[in-house]
Amino acid sequence: MKRKTELVKCISLAALMMVSAITFAQKEGPPPPPKKDRRAEHRDERKENIETMKIGFLTKRLDLTPGEAEKFWPVYNQYADRLEELRIKRMQDYRDAKQKFDELSDKEVEQAVDNEMTFRQKELDLQKEYHSKFKTVLPIKKVAKLYEAEEQFKRELLNKLRDRKEPPPPPRERE
C-alpha cells in the first residue's frame, strides 16, 4: 500500500512537472510594439490638432457644399501628403548639410544648394499639378480662396505659436 502511495505521488509529481514544462515552453505572442517617447507622442498629437484646425479653417473659408467637400478633401489630402513627403526629405538633407557645413567642400556645398533649387522646383511642379486637379473639383473662385485661406491659416498659426512662446511683459513699476 505504501508503495502504491509513493507511486501515485511520483506519477503526480511527474505529471505536474510535464504540465509546467509544457506551459513554460509555450511561445509568447508577438512582442509589444515599441513605445514612442513622450516628445514623439506630443509632436504627433500637436500635428493632429493642427490638421484638425486646418480642416475646419479651410472648410469655413471655402464654404464647401457637401458635394464639393466629398470631392475636394481626398484630392487635398493627397496633395498635402505628397507635399509633406517632399518637405521631410528637404529637412533631412538640410539637417545633414547643416551639421557638417564647415567640413563640406565647395563642391558639396554647391550640391546642397542645387538640391534646394531642385526641391523648390519639385514643390512648384506639385502645386501646378494639383492646381489643375483642384479646378476639376471646385469652382475657380473657391480654388483662389483656397490659396488665400492656406496663407491666412499659416499666418494665424504662426501668430499663435509666437504668442505662446513670448514671455509676458515685466510688471510696470508704480511711481
Task: Tell me the helix, strand and coil percentages in the chain, rounded to 5.
Answer: 80, 0, 20
SS3 for 118-173, per residue?
HHHHHHHHHHHHHHHHHHHHCCHHHHHHHHHHHHHHHHHHHHHHHHHHCCCCCCCC
Predicted pLDDT of residue 27: 53
pLDDT tens digits, one per residue of 35-84 = 667 888 888 888 898 999 999 999 999 999 999 999 999 999 999 999 99
DSSP 169: P
Q: Residue holding cell 519639385?
A: 122
